[in-house]
Amino acid sequence: MIERLNEGLNRKLTLISASAGSGKTTLVSEWVAACGRSVAWLSLDEGDNDSTRFLTHLVAAVQRIAENIGESAVGALNSPQPPSTESILTILLNEISALPYPFVLVLDDYHVIDDKRIDDVLIFLLEHLPAQLHLVIATREDPQLPLGRLRARGHLSEQRAAALRFTPGEAATFLNQVMGLGLTADEISALEARTEGWIAGLQLAALSMQGHEDIPGFIRAFAGDNRYIVDYLIEEVLQRQPDPVRSFLLQTSILDRLHGPLCDAVTGQADGSVRLEALERGNFFVVPLDDKRSWYRYHHLFAEVLSVHLRAEQPDQVATLHRRASRWYEQQGSAANAIRHALAAEDFARAADLVELAWPAIRRSGQETALLGWLKALPEGLIQCRPVLSAGYAWSLLAGGELKAVEERLRDAERWLEPAADMREQPEALSAEMVVVDEEEFRRLPVSIAVYRAAHALALGDLQAAMKYARRVLELVPEDDHLPRGAAVGLLGLASWTNGDLEAAYCIFADGMANVQLAGNISDVIGGTIALADIRLAQGRLRQAMRTYKRGLQLAQEHSESVLRGAADIYVGMSELLLQHNDLHAATQHLMRSKEQGEYTGAPQNRYRWHVAMARIREAQGDLEGALDLLDEAAHLYVGGFFPNVRPVAALKTRVWIAQGRLSEAVDWAREEGLSIEDDLSYLREFEHITLARVLLAPYQNNRTNRSIVEIMEFLERLLQAAEEGERTGSVIEILIVQALAYHMQGDIPAALVPLERVLTLAEPEGYVRIFVDEGRPMATLLEAAAKQGIGLNYVRALLTGFGTDERWTPVSQVMNEPLSAREHDVLRLLRTDLSGPDIARELMVSLNTLRTHTKNIYDKLEVNNRRAAVRRAEELDLF
C-alpha cells in the first residue's frame, strides 16, 4: 500500500475514498510521515463549507511548510471586501512554485464539504498545480471533481475501500500488538470476517473486549447487520468508561474542534488537555489537527453517536454547554464561533448582542453574507427592538441584492430614533424596551440610515430619493467626518452618472473619493477609479481614462502590503482601452495580468467585465462564437451594483449576432427589451438604442423592403442630438459612424462623408481605431473615399493600416480577381444612368445580346446579381 502511494507522488492527486472508519486518516498519517516530503494537513468539518473560512484554513495549513507563504493571501482575506477564491489560489500557487522543495497537502474528511464553490477551488488548484505540490484527498465519497479526465491524463492515483481493509495478518497485528488482546488465530479470523476488515469496527470491537472475561463468547455474539454494529459498539464502549471520561466525551461532543482550555470551559473541569492526550494515546477516535497536538477533533462517526447520547441522556445540558463554548470563544476574540454557539444554545439575546458588537468589523471586511445568515436565525421580535441590528440587517440585505425587505428594516431602526412621535402612530411596535449594545453605532444611526436609504434608492433607480438622502447625510455630519461624507458625495456622483450628466458626475464622484481617501479607506478609492475612468470613456476621453487608471494602479501598488482591492479591475479597464487602440497583444496581456497576478483584488460587481473584455478581443480576432461563449459567462457572473449598467451584456451579444447575420435573434432581442425608434431617449438606454438602429439597418443592406430608411435616419439624428446635449462624445462618435454607414447603404457616398469627416475630427485626438475597424469593408471603403477627398489623410491612412490586421476585412484592391475591361467600364458608366438596356446598346452601338454579355461579365466580376447592386458596388470600389 505504501509503495502504491509513493508511486502516486508523481501525479497531481492521490484520492483515498472509502467508507467511515476504513482507516483513511491513519493510512495517510503513516504514509506522509515516511514519504520524505514536508506535509501540510487540513482536517475539515462542516464549518469549512464557508469559502472564506476554507481559504483561511488552507492558507494556514500551507504556512506550516513555509510561514512566509500566503501573507498576501491573508492580507487580501482581511481586506474590506473578501477576495475571490480563484485568485487567492493564484497568488498562493505563484508563491508555492517558488519553493525549492516539494511537499504534500492533505485534505482530510473532504466528504463534509458540500459547497460547489469549494469544489471549484480544487478544480482550479488541480488545473494550475505547481510541481512542488502534491494533493491528497481523504473522503467517504468521491468529490465533485473531473476524476475521469484526471484518470485519462494520468494525473490521478486512487486507493479505495478494498485496498484499505485489514488482511487477517494486519488484523492480528492490530488486535494483539496495538490493542494488547491475546486472541487466537481463529478468533482473529472470525472477527476479521465479521467486520470485513473494517478498521473502525475492529477498533470498536477491541475497545469493547478490553476487560471482557468471555472473549470467545463476545466474538460469537458479535454478529448482525453492519448498519447496527456502530451503535452497539459505541454503547459498549461508553458503558465501560469511567464516569469522568464518559462525561467528558458526551459534554465535549458539541464542539467541532477540541482544545484543552476550550474543553475545560465547556466541562467546568481543568484536565481537558490531559484528557485529549490520553484519548489519542488510547486510539479513542480523536484526530490531531496540528503538529503540536493542541487542537483535535472526534472521528465524525464517533462524534455523531456521542451527540445522540448527550441529547438522550442530558437534554437540559445541551444549551448550557453551547453557552459556555460561546463565552470562551468570545473571550478569545472569535466572534463567528461565539455567535454560532450562542445560536446553537438558542440564546438569541446573547447572539444578538454578539452580532451587534461584531457589526462594525463585519461592515469593514465585507462579510455581509455571514451577517445575513445570523440575523435570519434570530427571532423577528428580537431584531425589531434593536435599532443597530435592524440597520445592519438592512445593509446586509442591500449588499445581497434582496432589495424588497430593505425598507422595512430601515423603518424598524428609524422608529427608535424619535420614540415620542412614533408611539402615537405605532404604540404596539414600541411596547418592548429598546436594546442597544454598541452606543457609538447607535449615535451614528441617523447618518447610517441616510446612507443606506440613498444607496437603496440608487439601486432601485430612484435618483431623486437617492440624492435627497445623500444630501441629508451631508447635513448631519461635520466637514471632518470624511467617510460618511465621501459615501454621500460619491452616491450623488453616481446619481448624476445614471442621469447622463457626465461632467458633473465625474467632478462630484472624484470629490467623494477624495473624502474616502482622507478617511483611510484606500480600497474604496481604488475601486472608485473604475467609475471615474468609465465616465471619461463615455465622454470619449480615452487618454484621460488611461491616466485615471494609471493613478489608481499606482495607489494600489503603494498600498500593496495591506490593500489591493480594485487593481485587477483596473487592468481590465486598461485592456479595453488598449483594444480600442487596436493593440490586441497588449490588451490580452493586461487581462492575463488581471487574472494571474491580481484578480483576487477585483470587486465582485466587476467580475463579469473580464469576460466582456476578452469577448471583445475574440471578436476582433474573428472568433465570434468564442466571443458569444464569453458573453454568456459574463451574463452569468453579472451582479448589479450602484454603477449604471449602460452596456448590458444582452446588447453586446446582439451586436455579435448582427456580425454573424443572425438577424432574427437580433430582432427578437429588440422585441423582448421593448425597444422602439419612437422611445423617449435616456442615457441608460443609449447603448441599446444605438444597437437597435444597427438591428434595423442590418437587413436594409440586402433587402430594401424593411422599414423606411428615412425613419431610421431620423432616429439616429434624435440619438445624436441627445448625446451631443449630454456631452457624451463616446456615443456621438458611434452614432456618427452608424449614420455614415447608413448613407453608404443608400449608395450616397458624398452624404456619408459628412458625418465621417466629423467623426474623424473627434476620434483622432483620442486614438480611436477599433471602433472603425470593427465595421469591416463598408467603413474601409468610406475611409478610402475620404482619403481621396483629402479628409483626415494621415489618420485615415493609419486606420486603413489597422484594417489590414483584421481577419474579417479584405482591402479593396484585393476584392476583384479580374479587372473590368475598357468596354465593361463604358457599360458600367451607362448602367449608372437612367437609360434602359436597349438605349445603352444604341448609345454604344452594339447589339442587345452583346450588351447582355458585357453586363453579365460585370455582375460576375463585382459579385452582384442586379444593376442597382452593380452600381452600388462600383461606387464602393471607386470604379467611376
- Asked if pLDDT for residue 523 goes beyond 80, the answer is no
How many residues are there in the chain? 880
Q: Which residues fall within 8 angstroms of residue 683, CB to CB, at 6 or more apart?
A: 498, 499, 500, 644, 646, 726, 728
What does the pLDDT look like over 6-27, one tens digit per residue? 888 889 999 998 766 677 887 8
Measure the CA–CA gap between 132 and 121, rounded to whole angstroms.
18
The reported pLDDT for the residue numbered 20 is: 64
Distance of CA 622 to the CA centre of its chain: 27
pLDDT attached to residue 666: 95
pLDDT at residue 423 in the model: 43
* Contact indicator for 686, 728 with CB cutoff of 8 Å: yes
The pLDDT of residue 162 is 67
Each residue's pLDDT tens digit, 621-635: 889 999 999 999 999
Which distant-in-sequence residues (6+ apart) come within 8 Å of 11 by Cβ? 134, 154, 155, 156, 157
The pLDDT of residue 45: 82
pLDDT digits over 302-327, tens only?
Answer: 777 788 889 988 999 999 999 999 99
822-876 has the same fold as 2-164: no
Domain boundaries 2-164, CATH class: alpha beta
- Give 121-131 pLDDT, tens digit per residue: 899 889 889 98
Using H for helix, E for strand and C for coil, what is the string for 193-216?
HHHCCCHHHHHHHHHHHCCCCCHH
pLDDT at 807 over 50: no
CATH superfamily of 649-814: Tetratricopeptide repeat domain (1.25.40.10)
Here the cell at position 5 is 502511494
> What's the pLDDT at 834?
86
Name the residue ranges covered by the structural domains of the chain: 2-164, 168-240, 447-599+609-633, 649-814, 822-876
Percent of the chain with pLDDT over 90: 42
Q: Which CATH class is domain 447-599+609-633?
A: mainly alpha
Degrees to nearest 5, angle at CA 796 with 792 and 801 = 160
Residues 259-272, mean pLDDT to the nearest whole number: 94
CB 673 within 8 A of CB 654: no
Task: Report d(CA 690, CA 538) in Å as an integer.
Answer: 14
DSSP letter for each residue of 503-546? HHHHHHHHHHHHHHHHTT-HHHHHHHHHHHHHHHHHTT-HHHHH
**CA dist., res. 485 & res. 451, Å (int):** 9
Nearest-angstrom CA–CA distance, 210 and 240: 9
- When pLDDT is cut at 50, 70 and 90, the band that residue 553 belongs to is confident
CB 587 within 8 A of CB 576: yes
Q: How many CB atoms lie within 10 A of CB 714?
A: 12
Measured from the Cβ of residue 482, the count of other Cβ atoms closer than 10 Å reads 19
Degrees, nearest 5: CA angle 508-463-475:
60
Q: How many CB atoms lie within 10 A of CB 418?
A: 10
d(CA 276, CA 269): 13
Predicted confidence at residue 82, as pLDDT, reads: 59
Three-state SS sequence of 71-133: HHHHHHHCCCCCCCHHHHHHHHHHHHCCCCCCEEEEEECHHHCCCHHHHHHHHHHHHCCCCCE
Mean per-residue pLDDT of the chain: 84
In terms of C-beta density within 10 A (0-12 exposed, 13-18 middle, 19 or more buried), how is residue 3 classed? exposed
CATH class for the region spanning 822-876 = mainly alpha
pLDDT of residue 814: 45
Q: In the structure, what pLDDT confidence band is assigned to residue 71 with cuts at 50, 70 and 90?
A: confident
Give the neighbor-by-neighbor strand order of the sheet with 133-139.
38-43, 103-108, 133-139, 13-17, 156-160
- 413-469: pLDDT as tens digits: 988 887 544 444 454 444 568 889 888 889 989 999 999 999 999 988 899 999 999
Please state the rounded mean pLDDT for residues 391-401.
83
Q: What is the largest distance, in Å, between two alpha-carbon atoms of the chain?
A: 128
Higher pLDDT, 399 or 351: 351
Mean pLDDT of the 529-554 span: 94
Q: pTM, whole model, 2 decimals?
A: 0.64
Can you give the pLDDT at residue 224? Answer: 41
Average pLDDT for residues 799-803, to the nearest whole number?
87
- The confidence score (pLDDT) of residue 813 equals 43
Give the pLDDT confidence of 272-286 residue by residue, as tens digits.
Answer: 999 998 887 665 677
Closest-CA residue to 533 (of 583, 582, 606, 599): 606
